Structure 1
């Protein structure tokens, strides 16, 4: 099985996993042959990737960290917030009415799903798939990724209560909710920001806090994460230039995860960078911008190249991540499916990057339709 962006899937592909809606109903069943109309509809529903059968990868079993129904409910909840709020909408104490309960219920499902395999490496199957095509998709992708990173890492520590996990999870999920109050043209600007524009962007942290702080069901700590996730240890962050322990530990962790997720995804003003380069940047700034123990926690427990991810190697060959190396999470085993000259292999072979140190992963995601 392999993961392919929906927009790159072709009619005739067979589905490797059942697709559910946010209510748990089957949208498309296992092994159904996809048609062009199905693919168009799935894209419209916000389903950005699909599990596709491939006889060359039948032995690779990809386990999503959360159930598909939970993922759809998460996506639906975030989409409703994005639709309701805008720079022209004034928010007050009643703005989030009904949303607090909705997010509590959704986050409870996320925690339950992630606890099922709590000792497994953190592995997000949707990472690095394709650039977000619009601001809502970008908002939802980032929120879901950071939420699952933070919640799973907290679960793996084994020291947090369920209330703690809820605060961390909701803080991570809603850390950027204030961005929906910013002008769209500012968020989509490709050129560098002016000083005034950058100051406007910085307001999203305060907006998020104001939207969440009085909402019934949303812990105040979660609102604090929205407020502080851009603060940095040396005081160079915003909005209040807090330093060190002035920044809540949850916000420190979420700030690291948000920075990493931003680096490995394409933005309007720059291309994505490879995950191992992003990790190097975190380490280079550990102790100055980021908590070094939290960076180590991320490095030791996150599979930055998850199973099923399509990758291109420095040799020009391309394939799929087939196995993880627990002793070297950043250097997995890659099953080569296509030669450097673009020839599809009927008999793939594997390269263990932890043993073949002169070969690197250079790009992630599908480059060509297979």
Structure 2
């Protein structure tokens, strides 16, 4: 049964105070609860639900969102082979080696260098020159080093440095998320380089498309859509002329628009016919596109994009891969505007690996939704209660521009 965009199916072991249960795994009439949902306001309510249900749906607009560890995904064919596939991917477990604030300074420099590299390489290709893979590798390697030390700094910078140039900002975003996701999956250093370069170059064929086609607002005609889809072929042609290119990078470019249910292009591959790196970059590419400023579509908040991926699990994207991506970035990714349980508004600045629902936030608005005289950080991993002694948690995600806020303008003005 499909869920709405703000409902999430979880194990009853993940129930917590402040959640709103909108549906059960059995008829409401068989339970002592009201027919239209229940707000979890006591440990007794949690205990009763655990006695009668194995899973429930929680409404993230009306209450606290769940810990990603307790998400329950619909059955999608045999599970054991897929689980084995992810176990084979994991060859190491990376640990945080630097604090967020310390890494942010290093990441600022690397981010600027990588942006410059992408810009120069794209200009070369637009002028008809060959792809300079070595130029990109230097910046990607420095980015991977930063992400391996602490993945949050680069993700934060990517969100805070959004620009109108969609092409290279999207390329940069895909590279960053590919490295971060690959780190979460336990890939080794050389695999992260391939995955990141694949993310960086997945849409490189767009440099051969007419600029007015890519900048036109609104939906495209069928013929125009076919021209856009041809960027995959153009990208492969560009890569064929690049000496020393690892074959898996071309494989990523060829398959990142294929979809789990066979609805993708160019070959209409299904399920595990799509190489695993192509599947990974397909998720990353879609997430970053949804959260980027594009002329032809309204961008979504990171939280809204995560919810959309969740809705497409087992359809456009492999369910287990979506689950892993949500584990990586959290229900409320870095850069998300959120409302806290006390009514204050903040932006997520850091997501703890073990406490993904208790992130570090920058407080922006007070309980009356008036701007604070001075922004300040609160680490919900350490601060559990507000000034009145009530539990302090993230209540809900907010869309971009809520209450007139744009974190990009606030932090980079």
Q: Provide the TM-score with structure 2 as the length reference.
A: 0.63
- Pick closer, same or farther for the CA change 1:316–1:200 going to 2, 3 Å: farther
Q: Work out which of the residue numbers 132, 141, 145 in structure 1 matches 2:163.
A: 132
From the CA coordinates, give the structure whose radius of gyration is larger: 2
- 1:114 maps to 147
Q: Give CA deviations for 1:238-281 in whole Å, capped at 9, x if unaligned.
A: 11111122211101100101101111223213322222221121
Indicate conservation of the 8 Å contact 1:123/1:303, yes or no.
Answer: no
Relative to its length, the structure with more helix (as a share) is: 2
1:292 and 2:292 aligned: no
- 2:407 maps to 366
Q: Give CA deviations for 1:40-92 in whole Å, capped at 9, x if unaligned.
A: xxxxxxxxxxxxxxxxxxx9837339633322222122112322334xx6x5x
Which sections of structure 1, spanning at least 5 residues, go unmatched?
Answer: 1-58
- Pick closer, same or farther for the CA change 1:204–1:304 going to 2, 3 Å: farther
Following TM superposition, by how much is the alpha carbon of 1:157 offset from its aligned partner in structure 2, in angstroms? 3.2
- 1:342 maps to 370
- 2:114 maps to 74
Backbone CA RMSD of aligned residues: 3.3
Q: Give CA deviations for 1:101-131 in whole Å, capped at 9, x if unaligned.
A: 21233333233333334xx668601344475
Q: Distance in 2 between matches of 1:108 and 1:343?
A: 40
1:167 and 2:194 aligned: yes
Q: Distance in 2 between matches of 1:167 and 1:367?
A: 30
- Pick closer, same or farther for the CA change 1:280–1:218 going to 2, 3 Å: same
Q: Work out which of the residue numbers 168, 186, 203 in structure 2 matches 1:158.
A: 186
Q: Distance in 2 between matches of 1:251 and 1:359?
A: 35
- Pick closer, same or farther for the CA change 1:122–1:333 going to 2, 3 Å: closer
- 2:19 maps to none
Indicate conservation of the 8 Å contact 2:348/2:360, yes or no.
Answer: yes
- 1:13 maps to none
Number of residue pairs the alignment of both structures matches? 298
Q: Distance in 1 between matches of 2:331 and 2:281?
A: 16
Following TM superposition, by how much is the alpha carbon of 1:194 offset from its aligned partner in structure 2, in angstroms? 0.3
Q: Distance in 1 between matches of 2:326 and 2:218?
A: 32
Q: Distance in 1 between matches of 2:139 and 2:377?
A: 41
1:269 and 2:277 aligned: no
- 2:305 maps to 278
- Pick closer, same or farther for the CA change 1:236–1:317 going to 2, 3 Å: same
Indicate conservation of the 8 Å contact 1:252/1:290, yes or no.
Answer: yes
Q: Distance in 1 between matches of 2:106 and 2:312?
A: 31
Following TM superposition, by how much is the alpha carbon of 1:368 offset from its aligned partner in structure 2, in angstroms? 6.6
Q: Work out which of the residue numbers 263, 272, 276 in structure 2 matches 1:245.
A: 272
Which sections of structure 2, spanning at least 5 residues, go unmatched?
Answer: 1-98, 385-390, 401-405
Q: Distance in 2 between matches of 1:287 and 1:201?
A: 26
Indicate conservation of the 8 Å contact 2:291/2:305, yes or no.
Answer: yes
1:143 and 2:171 aligned: yes
